[in-house]
Amino acid sequence: MTSSTPQATLEALGIHATNVPEPLGGGDIGQVWRVTTASGDVVVKHAESEGLEAEADGLKALRQADTGLIIPDIVGELPGALVMTWLPPARPDRQAHEAFGRGLRALHAHTSAEHGWHRDNFAGTTPQLNTGYNDGRVFQRECRLLPMAEKCLQKKRMDRALFDQISSVANALESWLPDAPASLVHGDLWSGNVHFSTQGPTLIDPAIYRHYPDADLALLELFGSPADAFYEAYWDGDAPGDWPRRRALFQLYPLLNHLYMFGGSYRQGVQSAIAHLPQS
């Protein structure tokens, strides 16, 4: 991680700061500031270089998808530093929630045969495997559930009995989860990474890859509940009949990651998700 100040980062990019940097929240994996410059306000983020490179890669992919959602411009990159445009927050109304739903549906309409991504990235601070598989159930098992359960077991966040239950869930996916094309997903779409700005609904801090769109939707519901207008625009009708079970599956991976990082109460969440899922 760079040890320079945000002003030094900007100067290295030929940008002059005109105020004292304002620390921002969301710096769990680094430090983030808002800084005023002669050409407008920017966000300066300092963190481990590999994580910021993966974030920049995700932002570029989201911009290229051209979904109508707002994606911050990358102003500049340095080892251990990423500079992006500042997007002032706005209070979302019904139209903003509808625009978010339509935009996310458009993102998920970008599909491919292969689940995964051309590089690994991070779920928070946890390395995230994105090895390509043509079967999404294999990807979910080999790149999500089993690796994260193994990390939890090694860190003594779970016992062997719980690990075996997760393995059983992972090995039963073909019995009920249909194979499907892989959608482009944000990958870390909890409510804190949905920013309603004056320009419109904005996606930040991606951990992008291609997989079932349920991965984004389930995470949106894990730590909050999107507005009804979002669902009306995204589903354009009713949710799939098996959504509660699919939601439990795709919440299991982020719950395991939180169990791995923080321990404590997340074990109950893991057990609750497993209770809704078939086992082999």
- The number of beta carbons lying within 10 Å of the beta carbon of residue 240 is 11
User: H-type helices in the chain, by residue range?
Assistant: 6-12, 49-65, 94-108, 136-139, 146-154, 160-171, 214-222, 228-235, 243-262, 266-275
- Sorted by sequence, the CB contacts under 8 Å of residue 241 that are 6+ apart come out as none
* C-alpha distances out from residue 109 to 16, 57, 210, 211, 250, Å: 40, 19, 11, 11, 19
Q: Is 206 in contact with 58 (CB distance < 8 Å)?
A: yes
Q: Which of 93, 120, 164, 188 is catalytic?
A: 188
- Sorted by sequence, the CB contacts under 8 Å of residue 141 that are 6+ apart come out as 170, 171, 173
CA 182 distance to own-chain centroid: 16
Backbone angles phi, psi at 183, to 5 degrees: -90, 150
Write the DSSP symbol of residue 208: -
Active site residue 188: yes
In angstroms, the CA 68 to CA 107 distance is: 9
- Catalytic residue set: 188
